[in-house]
Structure 1
Amino acid sequence: MEKMIAILGAGESGVGTALLAKKNGYEVFVSDFGNIKEKYKKVLIENMINWEEGGHSQAKILKASLVMKSPGIPEKAPIVRLLIENNVPVISEIEFASQFTNATIVAITGSNGKTTTASLTYSILNSALNVALGGNIGDSFAQQVSEEKYENFVLELSSFQLDGIKNFAPHIAIVTNLSPDHLDRYDYKYENYIASKFRITMNQTEDDYFIYDGDDDEIKKWLDSNPIKANKIPFSITRKVDEGAYIENNNIHINIHNTHFTMPIATLGMQGQHNTKNAMAASTVATLLKIRKQTIRECLENFQGVEHRLEKVLKINNVMYINDSKATNVNATFYALDSMQTPTVWIVGGVDKGNDYEELLRLVNEKVKAIICLGVDNEKIKAHFSNIVETIVETAGMEEAVKVAYKLADRNDTVLLSPACASFDLFENYEDRGRQFKEAVRKL
């Protein structure tokens, strides 16, 4: 009798899991509460995989021996509760796919910097190894495992993907940093969210590595009270470390197993303190996997960053337009505002996930000349900043927001889209929001 797997959600991770499960002899049923995108529907039909949309057939799903839940579906969803009550195991795509590969896995999580760190790590490893990039970015891990052609994976993992793991154990795990995010999914308890991130190391052994920001108080606090088996390798920009990465005389130094790597910060392709940390994390991985030092240096010099993360779009009338749509939380926007060198018109807003804007007050006071709200509900933003920023304008969509910004910005100013919020009220996702911004800027 075939094992049956039910898959909730027919997006990137759901369809990837369906392909991998079918290949491994499972009877597969894909169920999406909403509508399935045409490109995914086509894949399901071509591969003769059973699917439904616009609701869940509970009786059929309860027959499954295993359920893969897409990361976007909360634990509180009625169908997920029902499965748990009936003792049907509910796992994530990452957990399901990892049992079908012997590849070396580098897994990266954190509140900010994970996409940049993952992309940078991949670009270094890709110059010397057979490696794929996946997880929360690009093609799904499951689909790439089903292709059976990769010996190494770099995975960007969200807390939601980590919530659904049981045995997943990466050889190298990274936590880039911690700041409050997605608290709406964690009962508004920061400690629940933190515990979720650290699941990345729970199955690691003494032969594995855990790389982390040694300057991050929350990470240090957690590691002090929770012993882990993996070898701990910190990176720090404030102090020298024996094993790990640190800064001395404006050079990055990495010391691991008697291997020493050094590189001037000034030659990094991406500048700014947080990017220096991303570079330290990525080059620590590359050093552990024995990539040549010269290769690491060249990759770090040439890497220009990822789309929607402080991406320079255009200069119009000497005003620079910057797309930082990927800033879906306050901490990411903090980095963005911190890196602004000129008076800034700041486009902000969206779905607030329990944001605390206090930490932005100093920067907004120093850098921001006008705020443009881009969300259905902007009360909290107005309440926080109306005392320190004279001009706050509410807009109904991206095109309007960009036109207002164009009017408010003077020569040598910057217009910055850095929303500090999720995008689901007006946009499909942060990529859609970023693309709409770029399109509106090009139309000016």
Structure 2
Amino acid sequence: MSTIISSTIRIPSTTRVLANGLRVVAHEDSSAPIVTVHLMFRAGSRDERPGRTGLAHLLEHLMFEGSQHAPKGHFDDALERVGGSNNGSTWLDRTNYYETVPTHAVELPLWLERDRMAFFLPMLTGEVLELQRGVVMNERRQVIENRPYGMADEQLHELLFPADHPYSWPTIGYMRDLEQITLEDARAFYQTYYTPGNAVLVLAGDIGAERAFELAERYFGDLPAGPDVPPPPAQLLPPAPNGARRVMEDDVSFPRIMQAFAVPAYGTPDWIALDVLAYLLADGDSSRLQRALVRDGRLAQDVDSYLYPTALCGVFGFVATARSEVEPEALEHAIRQVVDEVIANGVTDEELTGAVRRVRRDQVSELATVEERADALAYAATVLGDADAVHTVLDGYAEVTTDDLRRVAAEYLVPERGATLVVIPRPGQDDEDEEADDE
């Protein structure tokens, strides 16, 4: 049975491609006198190679060290003087940079991004590289290595994917690889991927489409397209890990069970159905996993399910933290029972409708600002090839049926297709926690 919920979410936009290949997307919203300039490159950790992991993220850090006509400090100072803000991020499939400014100052971020795209290399020196290498290595220590459960996601991906798969390594990179990145590595990555032909520029907010295109042409139209970028790997599910399993000791107080499954890529009908299933299983106190593990079962402190919107394949996962005196195997068994019940008997129409409504709730919330809409348009253009494809995804939720949910659970969420990581307290950890409490 199909849901009766129709999509009313729209992000109207217009796209134009400059002669150098830069895709420019304009989204007008005059409800506030601000404009977001969002520049996204189809370059993420998937574009690295074993031995040089972390390069994409390190380069993002380097890009904030200044360019030829906007040396370090000028970028932030100039934006702050007009009341603007900026940031950037790196993920598996993309790297993005974005600024939000008052409408009258829209040309400032365009000039700054042009300078980073065209005149960054003169500022990329060995001294700058060593400074940011140290920053990123310290970030890895703080966020990954020295944080409870911090290494878990990294190890789970190593179990799920073959060693040469671009999603098998962490976006931040391995410490041993960060130590080996050279100035030539950083320069080559920048020259290959940071080009107009490999970028999407979104102007969203208080600006009309023709004005947006005119400014894009003025600031970026004369830049060379750049070299042909190596094509990304085809959308292909990796070989099943055959229930790969690992136990990891960590400085934690409670065991945690983590499971992941490689599933179809973002935007496909099966990915959309799996997204609905993730909401049905774990979103809200009345969801199946919340009832079985937290509210009624009293096995877990928390449980969640997630789905990555990634380009080569999706990643569907479960995470649950045990209550005191509960063994992690009990959580694993309870999660498996819930999924097997969906496979055996399906879900109800009411559950499906409720899950889609909760998806819609979050979609509306996540697209509330021009910054968020700019990101959604840029990501759709980068990963799906067309900014307007965001609507194909949004509309797809209304087509999901109860049969779809049962089918995707049976096809993708079976033990042989999954990988399981069990995080347990390091021996003696409980004693250390008690001593800390006594103090």
Same-fold call, TM > 0.5? no
Higher RCO (C-alpha 8 Å, min separation 6):
2
Point out the structure with the larger helix share: 2
**TM, length-normalised to structure 2:** 0.22
**TM, length-normalised to structure 1:** 0.22
